[in-house]
Amino acid sequence: MELPKFKAAAVQAAPVFLNADATTAKACSIIAEAAGNGASLVAFPEVFVAGYPYWNWIMTPVQGSAWYEKLYKNSINVPGPETERLCEAAREHNCHIVIGVNERGQSFGEIYNTNLIINNKGQIIGKHRKLVPTWAEKLTWTGGDGSSLKVYNTEIGPIGTLACGENTNTLARYTLLTQGELIHIANYISLPVAPPDYNMAEAIKIRAAAHSFEGKLFTIVSCSTISKEIIDIMKEDVPNAEELLTRKDSAFSGFIGPNGAVIGEPLIDEEGIVYADIDLSKCIQPKQMHDILGHYNRFDIFDLRVNTAPKKNITFTGTGENDENKA
């Protein structure tokens, strides 16, 4: 039994803020560069298209309302013109893509924090909507449902993904592990507004190492950066935005192996692309010691049940035939 070997790329970059068209073009350019350097998988940050609602952290909800409207207008439909371009780039460069987007829902009040999984044939094989927006994010995003807690089989192996804080959700992570996940994409945003004693880069690394060590798999971390453009735009309403949004050790992108150790040198804060060679056969030996999906568990004691039914806003009842003509 031969398990895949491939090169992966983790992107640490800022979007073209609140510009879905330009950010999609930037993503396609990054895909071309990474594939040109041999990558068969490219991981992008959380909500890369087209940006994170930083105003929720540094403005009042009333101030932020106008910014929500800007974000909604630069959110995307899935599928839609932007995803078509991303799929074409994946197909052209024979590359798998995991990328975060702001996805429009059915209502103007619905935006989802969504990770798209695109295979090297240019097909959207899955999308995961972040289950629970974190803290101030609840002012912007609607939570997803269990239908997107899936692992997707690809030519390079089984891929699963979670966004930012939900990588601390043990039950969500375990749900992916039980489906045979061997490649986990954990994507984040740079969050410098955390408490002074909170090292965001270290916290991201700890979460990734925990998942890799527990599941004996590879975790690929992609984190966004905060560009000068983002800071300058926020200054329109918050003059001291630079002070609030500038901080060291707020972004980490890189790779964690099945033993929980960092592979190579991660990117901290700086924009760029890092690469690593992935050999899924390295996932086998560690499981002999701790396989929490098999011999190192007690399923006669533990019973996890996951509701994978899609959430519905309304259920219509009745025959539906000529109801409006009935007395």
Residues that are catalytic: 46, 130, 164
Secondary structure tally for the chain: helices H, strands E: 9, 12
Query: For 143, which DSSP code?
Result: P
Query: What tokens were used for 317?
Result: 């009842």
Query: For 76, which DSSP code?
Result: B
In this structure, how many other beta carbons lie within 10 angstroms of the beta carbon of residue 232? 12
Rounded to whole angstroms, the Cα distance separating 83 from 93 reads: 15
Query: What tokens were used for 228?
Result: 């000068």
Type and span of the H or E element at 179: none
Rounded to whole angstroms, the Cα distance separating 33 from 28 reads: 9
3-state secondary structure of 275: strand
Q: Tell me, what amino acid is at 12?
A: Q
- 18-to-124, 225, 294 alpha-carbon distances in Å: 23, 14, 45
Rounded to whole angstroms, the Cα distance separating 173 from 175 reads: 5
Would you give the distance in Å from CA 21 to the centre of its chain?
19
Query: What tokens were used for 255?
Result: 């790779």
